[in-house]
Structure 1
């Protein structure tokens, strides 16, 4: 089990282990709350709009923000334990703040 700050490579590995795909991940702010959302599209799809290097750069920025918020361990635990999965039109959401 990893400890310390969350990394983009770790998030990518957790997504692959959990669901077999590198799902698109976003931080969304709504009504003064911040959520981590796992979208239904993924890097391995032919129609995915980003290439691998752009996806990883964006994931690194997102993970840096998550770590600055002090929520790296919460994200790590959630990715390992959530029983839901991303489905077309339904993102998974984890409230961070």
Structure 2
């Protein structure tokens, strides 16, 4: 069980273990709140618009922001325990602030 700052490699591994794919992850700000969203698109999809290096760079930036917010452990726990899954037209959403 990992502790300490969240890493991009850990997030990708959790996504793959949980749902079998490297899902697209975004930080969204709405009405002074920040949400982590797991989108329905994924890297292994032929129509996914990013290549692997670009996906990993975006994931690293996102994880750095999550760690700066002090929410690494919350994200780690949520990815391990959420009972929902991303599906077409419905992102998973975790409020961070």
TM-score if structure 2 supplies the norm length?
Answer: 1.00
Partner of 2:17: 17
Count how many residue pairs are aligned between Structure 1 and Structure 2. 97
**Which runs of no fewer than 5 residues in structure 1 stay unpaired?**
none
Give the alignment's TM-score, normalised by structure 1. Answer: 1.00
Deviation at 1:14, TM superposition (A): 0.0
What are the ranges of 5 or more consecutive residues in structure 2 without an aligned counterpart? none
Q: Could you say which residue in structure 1 is the equivalent of 2:44?
A: 44
In structure 2, distance between residues paired with 1:55 and 1:96: 22
**Deviation sequence 1:4-39 (CA, Å, 0-9, x none):** 000000000000000000000000000000000000
| Cα root mean square deviation, aligned | 0.2
CA distance in 1, matches of 2:58, 2:25: 9
Over residues 52-91 of structure 1, what are the superposed CA-to-partner deviations in whole Å (9 max), with x where a residue is unaligned? 0000000000000000000000000000000000010000
SS at match of 1:75: helix
Residue 86 of structure 2 corresponds to residue 86 of structure 1: yes
Segments ≥4 residues shifted beyond 6 Å: none
Structure 2 counterparts to residues 4-83 of structure 1, below 5 A = 4-83=4-83
